[in-house]
Structure 1
C-alpha cells in the first residue's frame, strides 16, 4: 500500500507520515500543489489510500475535485481531516465531507477540537515566547487534542478497514481554560507568561493589521468567541473508540513539549 499524505509537512501530516509505511508526502516542497490540478496525477500514481487536508478554508471546492481524481486513480481508502460542525451546510469543509462520503470507497472523517500544538506551533507559540497570549476567549475552555493522537487515529484509519464509515469526534480528556493552559506552560518553562482576554472586534483589527484577510479573521474570531460563550467544551470519545485508549492529557503534552528556559 502507498498512502498519499496531503499537508505532509504540517501539524498532523508529518506525524501521520511517521506512522505509515510507504507514505508519500504531498506538499509544495515535493512539487505538489492542491491548487494546481496538473500536479495531481504524479502524486496519485500508484496510491491506494489518501490522508486529506485542506490547508486553506477560503480556497473553494478544490478538495471534492481532488477526491474524484484520487478515486479514479485507484485510491480505495480516504481519511479526511475535517472540523466539528463541518457536516452542516455553509461550513467551508461541508463539500469535502460530502465528496468523501459519496466517493464509493472506504472513508473515515476526523473532527478534531482545538489542537494542543497551537500553543507550541504557529502564532500562539510566538505570543507565548513574547510573554502574553491574547485571545478573545474570556473564561472559555476547550478540550485540547494532542496532534499526536490525531495522527495516530488517522494512521490507523488509512491502514485498517475497520474504521471505514466512521466519523471520529476527537477531544482531549478534559476541557482546559486558556488561563490554566498558559499557567501550566509558564510553570513548565520557568518563565513569566500570562493570558489576556481581548475584545473580539479588537482581535479582528489586530489580525487584519497583520495581513490576515478580514473574512478569515472574522471566521477565526467566531470560533474563539464560541469558546468564550461556553460552546465547544464537550468531551467526545473518538480517540478511545478508534484506539482503545483514552486521549493524552494536556498536562502530558506540556511536560513533553515545554522545557525550562535556559
Structure 2
C-alpha cells in the first residue's frame, strides 16, 4: 500500500511521519513538499519518497498522486479557496484511483458551515472517494506556538474566545491515531470526533496553566478589534488574525460534541490532560520578562 502525507513537517505531520515509519515496513510512504530540497533536511526520508506538490498548483497533483492508495489531507491555514484548489485535487485523486482520504478537520465542522473544513468535508462526500474525517479539538501545541510569547513574556493568554468552551488534544496523540487509521482502517467512510480533555473556557485554561507553571497566568479576553490590531503589529496578516477571531469567537461546539471518549478508545489509554501538557513543557513556557507586562483593561 502506498500512502501520501501532506503537511509532513507540520504540527501533526511531523509526528505522523515518525509513527508511520515506526509502525510499518510493509508499506511505502511518500511526503509532499513545495520545495523538495528543503524537506529532506526536516524528515527522515529518501529522495524518492518526496514528491513535489503545491495546493496552489493544480498541475502538481497528477504526478504527486501517481500510484497512491491512501492520502492524508491537511489544509494549509492560508488556503480558503476550496472550489479553486481542493475540488481539482479531489478530481485528480479520483482519476488516480485513490481509495481512501483521511482529512484533518475541526470539531463540529458540520455545524459551522462558514469554515473551509465544512466545505472540504462536503466536497469529499460528493467526490465518491472513501473518506475519514478527523474532527479534532484545539491543539495543545498552540500554547507552544502562537500563544507562547504572551505566556512567557506577559503571563497572559491572549485569545478572543470570550467565555466559549473548547476541548484540547495533544497533536502527538492525534498523529498516533491518524497513523493507525492510515495503516489499518477499512476502505469505508467514517467520522471521528477527537478530544483529549473535558471542555473548558480560557479562564479555566489560565488557572490550569498557573497551577502547572507555578506562577499566575491570566486570561485577558481581548475584544476582536484589539486582538486583530496586536496580531498585525506583530507581523501577522489581517486575514490570519480575522480567521483566528472567527475560530475562537464563533466556532460553536454543541454540548453533545464537547467531549467524546473516541480518542481514549483509539489510543487504548487515557489521553493527555492539559495540565500534564503544561508540566511537560514547563521549560519552554518559563517566564522571559523582556517585555513589560501589558496593562490592557479591554473588555467585551
Q: State the TM-score, normalized to the length of structure 2.
A: 0.74
Task: Decide which moves more: 48-57 or 213-222.
Answer: 213-222
The reply on whether 1:197 has 2:221 as its aligned counterpart is: yes
**Counterparts of 2:78 and 2:10 in 1: how far apart (Å)?**
15
The equivalent of 1:144 in structure 2 is 168
Q: Bigger shift: 90-99 or 175-184?
A: 175-184
Paired with 1:71 and 1:158, the residues of 2 have a C-alpha distance of 18
Distance 1:59 1:197, change over 3 A: closer
**Secondary structure of 1:141 counterpart:** coil
1:135 aligns with 2:171: no
Choose 60-69 or 190-199, whichever is displaced more: 190-199
| Alignment gaps of 5+ in structure 2 | 22-27, 37-51, 288-300
What pairs up with 1:32-71 in 2 under 5 angstroms? 32-61=53-82, 62-71=85-94
What is the CA deviation profile of residues 165-188 of structure 1, one whole-angstrom value per residue up to 9, with x for unaligned ones?
A: 211111123123434434544554
Residues 104-115 of structure 1: pairs in structure 2 closer than 5 A: 104-115=128-139
Distance in structure 2 (CA, Å) of the matches to 1:217 and 1:91: 15
Shift of 1:103: 3.3
1:85-119 Cα distance to aligned partner (Å, 9 max, x none): 43354432233212322333331001111111100
Contact 2:66 2:96 in 1 (8 A): yes
Q: Is 1:23 aligned to 2:46, yes or no?
A: no
Q: Does 1:73 align with 2:83?
A: no
For 1:257 and 1:236, the matched residues in 2 are separated by 25
Secondary structure of 1:219 counterpart: helix
Secondary structure of the residue that 1:248 maps to in structure 2? coil
Note closer, same or farther for the CA distance 1:211–1:150 as it changes in structure 2 (3 Å cut): same
- Which residue in the other structure is 2:10 paired with? 10
Matched, 1:153 2:159: no
TM-score using structure 1 length:
0.84
User: d(CA) in 2 for partners of 1:222 and 1:49?
Assistant: 32
Spell out structure 1 runs of 4+ moving beyond 6 A: 229-233
Q: Which has the larger radius of gyration?
A: 2
Give secondary structure in 1 for the equivalent of 2:72: strand
Q: Distance in 1 between matches of 2:59 and 2:266?
A: 35
Residue 207 of structure 1 aligns to a residue whose secondary structure is: helix
Number of matched residues? 260
Q: Secondary structure at the match of 1:47?
A: coil
Q: Is the 8 A contact 1:57 1:93 kept in 2?
A: no
- Superposed CA deviations along residues 37-62 of structure 1, whole A, max 9, x for unmatched, are 23223322232111001113543021
Work out whether 1:126 is the aligned partner of 2:149.
Answer: yes
Do the aligned residues in 2 keep the contact of 1:64 with 1:95 (CA within 8 Å)? no
8 Å Cα contact 2:99/2:187 also seen in 1: no
CA RMSD of aligned residues (A): 2.9
The residue matched to 1:107 in structure 2 has which SS?
A: strand
Deviations 1:120-151 (A, max 9, x none): 1x221222222333222344432211112221
Residues 234 and 95 (structure 1), Cα distance of their counterparts in 2 relative to 1, 3 Å cut:
closer
Q: Tell me, in whole angstroms, the C-alpha distance in 2 between the residues paired with 1:86 and 1:199.
A: 24
SS at match of 2:4: strand
